[in-house]
Amino acid sequence: MAQKMMQDKVVVVTGAGGGIGRDIALAMAASGARVVVNDIGTSTTGEGTDAGPAQNVVDEIKAAGGQAVASSDSVSEAASASRIVQCAVDSFGRIDGVVNNAGILRDRFFHRMSLEEWDAVIKVHLYGSYFMSRAAANHFKEQESGALVHMTSTSGLIGNLGQANYSAAKLGLTALSKSIALDMAKFNVRSNCIAPFAWSRMIGSIPTDTPEQQARVAKIQQMTPNKIAPLAVYLLSDQASDVNAQVFAVRNNELFLMSQPRPLRSVHRSEGWTPEFIAEHGMPALKASFVSMDRSADVFSWDPV
Given a cut of 70, whether residue 298 has pLDDT beyond it is yes
Overall domain count for the chain: 1
Give the span between the Cα atoms of 294 and 164, in whole angstroms. 14
pLDDT of residue 217: 64
Mean pLDDT of 81-100: 98
Mean pLDDT of 214-239: 85
**249: in domain:** yes
The enclosing domain of 137 has a CATH number of: 3.40.50.720
Residue 79's CB is within 10 A of a number of other CB atoms, namely: 10
**293: in domain:** no
pLDDT of residue 194: 98
pLDDT of residue 1: 41
Residue 283, CB half-sphere, CA atoms under 13 Å: how many?
Answer: 7
**299: in domain:** no
* pLDDT classification of 48: cutoffs 50, 70, 90: low
* pLDDT classification of 30: cutoffs 50, 70, 90: very high
**4: in domain:** no
Does residue 166 carry a catalytic annotation?
Answer: yes
Residue among 127, 130, 166, 234 flagged as catalytic: 166
**278: in domain:** no
Query: Which range (109-118, 189-198, 199-208, 270-279) has the least confidence?
Result: 199-208
Query: Which range (147-151, 201-205, 257-261) has the least confidence?
Result: 201-205
**231: in domain:** yes
Given a cut of 90, whether residue 303 has pLDDT beyond it is no
Given a cut of 50, whether residue 233 has pLDDT beyond it is yes
Domain that residue 80 falls in = 10-257
**235: in domain:** yes
DSSP assignment string, the chain: -PPPTTTT-EEEEETTTSHHHHHHHHHHHHTT-EEEEE-----TTS----SHHHHHHHHHHHHTT-EEEEE---TTSHHHHHHHHHHHHHHHS---EEEE-------B-GGG--HHHHHHHHIIIIIHHHHHHHHHHHHHHHHT-EEEEEE--HHHHT--TTBHHHHHHHHHHHHHHHHHHHHHGGGTEEEEEEEEE--SGGGTT----SHHHHHHHHHHHTS-GGGTHHHHHHHHSGGGTT--S-EEEEETTEEEEPP----------TT---HHHIIIIIHHHHHTTPPP---HHHHS-SPP-
Angle at 84 between CA 83 and CA 88, to 5 degrees: 105
- The predicted-structure confidence for 96-151, as pLDDT tens digits, reads as follows 999 999 999 999 999 999 999 999 999 999 999 999 999 999 999 999 999 999 99
**67: in domain:** yes
Whole-structure pTM value: 0.90
